């Protein structure tokens, strides 16, 4: 990230559901949800990236947004999309937005890889958010991280 005034966030998608509970989104569809959802924000750039893990790149001004705010926007956008696809049904899934700031050296020099100081965010769609968090040992995984280096947004079924 060359511009110190810009934050960079990469999103991945963890679809922990059966297709009969909610249709899966392919990588391009997943990215398009956020590209469309963030397009009204002229100061936020959102694009699809080709990376084995990351799917979406979001660039945002650090003087205007905190990473958790961008994460909340992303959660709201995904839920809005899912509700618009099922207007008369209750969503069968919890959505989790799990973010962490990279503090270790990059594993790749690829421009699509996560670099130190940038945010990696796992967007999780799952039947039970609390069960998913327990299965990955979220509390232990994040115990040694500084509070300003992680965030968790839980958006329950509604």
Asked whether residue 132 is assigned to any structural domain, the reply reads: yes
Q: What is the pTM of this model?
A: 0.93
- C-alpha 22/C-alpha 19 separation (Å) is 5
Per-residue pLDDT, 2: 42
Asked whether residue 1 is assigned to any structural domain, the reply reads: no
The number of domains in the chain is 1
The H-or-E segment that residue 151 falls in is strand 150-155
With a cut of 70, list the residues of the chain below it in pLDDT.
1-4
Per-residue pLDDT, 65: 96
Range of the domain at 64: 6-155
Query: What percentage of the chain has pLDDT greater than the value 90?
Result: 73
Asked whether residue 144 is assigned to any structural domain, the reply reads: yes
Asked whether residue 80 is assigned to any structural domain, the reply reads: yes
Asked whether residue 81 is assigned to any structural domain, the reply reads: yes
Per-residue pLDDT, 3: 52
Q: What is the pLDDT of residues 131-155, one digit of tens each?
A: 999 999 999 989 888 888 999 999 9
Asked whether residue 147 is assigned to any structural domain, the reply reads: yes
């Amino acid at each position: 990230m060359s511009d110190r005034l810009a934050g960079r966030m990469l999103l991945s998608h963890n679809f922990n559901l059966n297709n009969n509970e909610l249709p899966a989104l392919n990588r391009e569809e997943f990215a398009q949800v956020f590209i469309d959802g963030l397009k009204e924000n002229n100061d936020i750039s959102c694009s699809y990236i080709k990376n084995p893990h990351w799917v979406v790149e979001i660039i945002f001004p650090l003087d205007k947004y905190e990473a958790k705010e961008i994460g909340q926007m992303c959660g709201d956008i995904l839920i809005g999309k899912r509700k618009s696809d099922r207007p008369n049904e209750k969503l069968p899934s919890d959505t989790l937005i799990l973010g962490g700031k990279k503090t270790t050296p990059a594993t790749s020099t690829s421009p699509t890889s996560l670099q130190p100081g940038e945010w990696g965010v796992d967007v999780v769609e799952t039947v039970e958010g609390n069960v998913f968090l327990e299965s990955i040992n979220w509390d232990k995984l994040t115990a040694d991280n500084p509070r300003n280096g992680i965030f968790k947004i839980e958006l329950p079924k509604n």
